[in-house]
Amino acid sequence: MHPIVIIGSGMAGYTLAREFRKLNPEHELVMICADDAVNYAKPTLSNALSGNKAPEQIPLGDAEKMSTQLKLQILSETWVKAINPEIHELKLEKNGQETIQPYSKLVLAVGANPIRLAIAGDGSDDIHVVNSLIDYRAFRENLAKRQDKRVVILGAGLIGCEFANDLQHTGHQVTVIDLSPRPLGRLLPAHIADAFQKNLEESGIHFVLSTTVEKVSKINDGQDYAVTLANGQTLVADIVLSAIGLQPNIDLAKHAGVHTSRGILTNSLLETNLEDIYAIGDCAEVNGTLLPYVMPIMQQARALAKTLSGETTHVHYPAMPVAVKTPAAPLTVLPVPVDVDVNWETEEFEDGMLAKAIDNTDTLRGFVLLGATAGKQRLTLTKLVPDLIPAQL
C-alpha cells in the first residue's frame, strides 16, 4: 500500500496529519513541502510584537520534532513539479535531483500566496510581505534596524489592520493605504467600518484611503523610502509592508487537470474531480465557498481525517465568527454568505456597536460586534445563525 501524501506544511497540513494519526497510528504518511517544514500558527505573526514574541519563540516544532511526534516522513525543501493522477505519482525535485513519489491518496494543502501589486520605483523590491515565519523573520530583522519606526502598510483588510494595531502598540508610526474608502470594506457594513476606523485612528494609526501606491523609491542613501500615492501625496517610510490579500495556490492542481476557480474546487467530502485527490485549507474552495480562516481548517481536517481512515465524512461548517486581533478596536465578524441579500440592524453601546444581518425571511445570517460590550453577545448570536454547510448523516 502506498502512503497518503500531504503537500504543504502549513496549519492545514499539520492539523490533518495530527487528526489522522489519532484515528490511524500506522498507515504511512508523507508530507512534502518547499520550505523547512517548521510547524507554527500563522495567525500569531500579526500580533507577535505586542505579545513580546521573538521569531524564534513562535515555532511549535521543527521538522525533526514533528516527524517523530506524528510518525510522519517529511520531505522538506522539496518541490512537487507535477502530479500524474493516472498512475498516482508525483514528480519531485530537491537540490536539482528529480525523484518519483507514489501515493494512495493525495491531499493538496498548498495554501495561498500574497497578491503583489505592480509598483514602480527602485524601492519596490524591498516591500515586505508576511505570509510565513521565514517572511516574518526577515521583516522583524529589518524593523529592528530602523530608528524612526515609520511603517507604511498597503492594504486595510484583516491582516493589514492587525499588523497596524500590533506595530502602533509597540511604538511604531503606522500609515495604512487602501483603494477602498474604508478599512475592512468587504467584511463590514459602512457605518461599522467608519466606527472601527475611528477607534484605530484614536490609537494613533493613520489611514490614507481611496487611493493606491504608484511608486516606492529609495531616498537618503537607501535608508528611507518615498512612497508616492496616486492622489499625489508622498509619504516617507522606514519600511513598507504589503498586506493586500492572498490568492490560493492553484497552479499545480490546474496542470494536473484538477478543476479550479478562485481556489481548488472540492465537494463537501473535500474531494476534487480527480480520484483520490483532496484539498484543504486556504487553497480549498468547498462547495463554492472559500474561507481562509482557522476554524474552517479545523473542521476540514477532522472530516478528511475520518474519510482517509475509511469513515466517509462530509465537512460541516457551523457559523464560525472571526475574531480580528485589533485590541484598540475589539472586533468579531461573522461574514454574510456572498449570495445572500441582507438588511443591517444596529444597536449602539458606549464602547461600540452590534450590527445584525437579517435576510428576507427574518433569519440572522451574520453579525458584527465592535467593542467589549457587544463582544459579550458572540455565543448567543452564533447559535441563531444557520450552518453554512449543514451536517450530513
Cell of 372: 467589549
3-state secondary structure of 359: coil
Residue numbers of the chain with a pLDDT score lower than 50: none
pLDDT at 305: 98
**Helix, strand, coil tally for the chain in percent (to 5):** 25, 30, 45
- Euclidean distance between the first and final Cα of the chain, in Å? 29
CB 354 within 8 A of CB 189: no
116-242: CATH architecture: 3-Layer(bba) Sandwich (3.50)
Distance of alpha carbon 58 from alpha carbon 93, whole angstroms = 29
Q: Where in the chain is the domain with CATH 3.30.390.120?
A: 330-382
Predicted pLDDT of residue 66: 97
Q: Residues spanned by CATH 3.50.50.60 within the chain?
A: 4-113+246-308, 116-242
326-368, pLDDT tens digit by residue?
999 999 999 999 889 999 999 999 999 999 999 999 999 999 9
Predicted confidence at residue 146, as pLDDT, reads 86
Q: What is the predicted pLDDT for the residue at 393?
A: 59
Cell of 21: 494519526
Contacts of 280 (CB under 8 A, 6+ apart): 12, 16, 107, 108, 109, 270, 297, 300, 301, 304
CATH match for 330-382 among 3.40.50.300, 3.30.390.120, 3.90.1200.10, 1.10.3720.10: 3.30.390.120
**Residue whose C-alpha is closest to residue 46's, from 153, 130, 171:** 130
pLDDT on residue 380: 97
